[in-house]
Amino acid sequence: MEEDQLYKPGPTAEYLGSTVNTLAYWRYVGQGPAFIKIGRNVSYRGSDVKAWLEAQTRTRTGEHASA
């Protein structure tokens, strides 16, 4: 993912190995990467997706998220 480029939910879900429905659920509950919403259109900035993914790194299973 390019840092400053905007991505629609489909390519973002594919990059994360997830689904568009999971991204929608994460938006609803306030989890997942930060997103941009203009009208009905949702996009994800590459840098936000990468930052969120990095924050998911753990060293053991019982560890809580750092962000």
Which tokens in the block code for residue 44? 């994800």
pLDDT tens digits along 8-65: 999 999 999 999 999 999 999 999 999 999 999 999 999 999 999 999 988 888 867 6
Q: How far apart are CA 25 and CA 16, in angstroms?
A: 14
Please count the helices (runs of H) and the strands (runs of E) in the chain. 3, 3
How far, in Å, CA of 56 to CA of 37, rounded? 23
pTM of this prediction exceeds 0.75: yes
Q: Is the pLDDT of residue 66 over 70?
A: no
Query: What is the predicted pLDDT for the residue at 38?
Result: 95
